[in-house]
Structure 1
């Protein structure tokens, strides 16, 4: 088995340049781990695109194979919890960052990273969700612990992104009144309304140009995928005993807030970490995605590409072009 050859997309560092190349490797070349998985599907995330151009905040050492998500079957495991041929999902931990990821046909990882695929999802569907869907569901899980569906409108920021899109779908399915904020109202309003949300507003409507300490109560809760000043502004307009989740930093990694929303309105702020999420909660979230929170027409949300087509999709993502959910299918 260690001599088995497979295809992988490798990022090679050459004289301060980063070259993408499809290569053949042996299973024996993979890093240490007690579980080998044959990858059938992976998905494209922004971290993968950053890794492909040498972002050392994502990947320290090259050559490297990106792919922070993977779904496939167990080939071999020394962990008695897993058996050969069992279908599994991997997201988070160090996969695709400094451990060879899902853009290769095989991965070798610690069994503690591996999730048994729940009934109700197939492998392709699990990668339609991937890290983005898992993050969205984790955000919804945290928010809805504090915010009842009858408490009022829930705001989702960054409306055209995958996390915001999937979070909106789940909230609508649960019966919440969802308002989506986006910087692309003119071009994306109809698409966002098709999710079943109550309304779509421009991000300017939620920004506080006067930088007040508090704003009029408006939102029962917020799922923020943007960060930066947007996060600071929406915190000011949360209703009493409401909650905010934050999972992104495309708007910046810093925000300003006074203590007043927290001590006068009892606002709760949840940070969402999908990378090191404990396994018991991780399993619970995947069960929800496979069951009551499963999106209708899930496979219609995705474009399936080959390993050879992935390079163009990464370039488009880095250029800020809309690429939607991209799932990689490893052909036999």
Structure 2
């Protein structure tokens, strides 16, 4: 290993906030059982938040952001991960409390790592990353609560984003009838290519008409929150479920108990950050098999280097990113 390596570093001290590519040494890395030669990371909404001068998610500086990591083991004191093994890691405290994936090397606890699943390359694993894992977890929770292909349309909100686009493609691949909502009128064809059979505008799903409204959706995946989540609860069919995994539309929720006590609607909270180890391991296997998006590396994914992170971070917060952006180290 080289003595120094490139990293995208956030600093916030007496000299003010700075973000840019620097040279770090291995003594700069935090404690951990395994040192990984990072090959790819990705840009998620949380990474965009981390890059803000007054970040609501970073707990200490300096910080290397990047909540996703895919690479090969360079050093290890954990017998589960020998040198040369290909591994992935997402969530936990990566990129917010513990140096993350925007560096050529990362050191982290072995318990945070997963072996690269069969049928996934390192690049494909990061084309999925936290966004794809979250979409898959939402689908699995919907299935556990009774959703099956043939039950009726499943609505995905924020459908051109990372979670939304992978969810549309995964659901379509599983045989579901997929509806997608977006505020980007020029991306309807993109969503149709991913498998959406019906497309709604953002204004169509932005607020409920009443505590309960027409029963439209067998289930829904919602990375948006806010008024959109209220709309979904009021329009989900009897016994259906809404899986919420984001707040790009706001953290406030206005609803009543009526969808729950009159229609038996389930509101499922989706957390990929602290997902239990057994669930995480099994779901990564599914991401390499039945949940692997058909258009993962073609239509969904874009690629940048470390120097491209600031621009993409700003765009993802503004809702201007389509699909997934991976960072190639």
Same fold (TM over 0.5): yes
Distance 1:243 1:323, change over 3 A: closer
Q: Paired residue for 1:171?
A: 171
Distance 1:85 1:158, change over 3 A: same
TM-score normalised by L of structure 1: 0.93
Checking the alignment, whether the CA contact within 8 Å between 1:18 and 1:52 is kept in structure 2 is no
Q: Paired residue for 1:115?
A: 114
1:276 matched to 2:274? The reply is yes
Distance 1:170 1:36, change over 3 A: same
User: Helix, strand or coil for the counterpart of 1:257?
Assistant: coil
Q: Paired residue for 2:131?
A: 132
Which of residues 263, 266, 271 is equivalent to 2:264?
A: 266
Structure 1 residue 26: deviation in Å? 1.2
CA distance in 1 between partners of 2:154 and 2:323 (Å): 23
Structure 1 residue 316: deviation in Å? 3.0
Checking the alignment, whether the CA contact within 8 Å between 1:18 and 1:54 is kept in structure 2 is yes
Q: Paired residue for 1:96?
A: 95
CA distance in 2 between partners of 1:160 and 1:234 (Å): 18
Q: Paired residue for 1:20?
A: 19
**Gaps spanning 5+ residues in structure 1: where?**
none
Structure 1 residue 209: deviation in Å? 5.7
CA distance in 2 between partners of 1:319 and 1:81 (Å): 41
CA distance in 1 between partners of 2:87 and 2:213 (Å): 46
Q: Paired residue for 2:196?
A: 197
Deviations 1:83-129 (A, max 9, x none): 11100001000011111111011111111100111110010100001
Alignment of 1:20-169 (within 5 A): 20-145=19-144, 146-169=146-169
Distance 1:319 1:150, change over 3 A: closer
The alignment covers a number of residue pairs equal to: 327
CA distance in 1 between partners of 2:228 and 2:317 (Å): 22
CA distance in 2 between partners of 1:237 and 1:49 (Å): 31
Structure 1 residue 244: deviation in Å? 0.7
Checking the alignment, whether the CA contact within 8 Å between 1:43 and 1:67 is kept in structure 2 is yes
Structure 1 residue 323: deviation in Å? 5.3
**Gaps spanning 5+ residues in structure 2: where?**
none
Deviations 1:19-64 (A, max 9, x none): 1222111112111111111111111112222222234421122221
User: Helix, strand or coil for the counterpart of 1:39?
Assistant: strand
Checking the alignment, whether the CA contact within 8 Å between 2:100 and 2:106 is kept in structure 1 is yes
TM-score normalised by L of structure 2: 0.94
Structure 1 residue 198: deviation in Å? 1.1
Structure 1 residue 205: deviation in Å? 2.5
> Superposition RMSD on alpha carbons, in Å?
1.7
CA distance in 2 between partners of 1:51 and 1:88 (Å): 24
1:217 matched to 2:215? The reply is yes
CA distance in 2 between partners of 1:241 and 1:312 (Å): 43
Which of residues 215, 218, 229 is equivalent to 1:231?
A: 229
Q: Paired residue for 1:286?
A: 284
Structure 1 residue 14: deviation in Å? 4.7
Alignment of 1:290-301 (within 5 A): 290-300=288-298, 301=300
Which of residues 249, 252, 268 is equivalent to 1:251?
A: 249
Distance 1:26 1:161, change over 3 A: same
User: Helix, strand or coil for the counterpart of 1:131?
Assistant: helix
Checking the alignment, whether the CA contact within 8 Å between 1:120 and 1:290 is kept in structure 2 is yes
Checking the alignment, whether the CA contact within 8 Å between 2:161 and 2:324 is kept in structure 1 is no
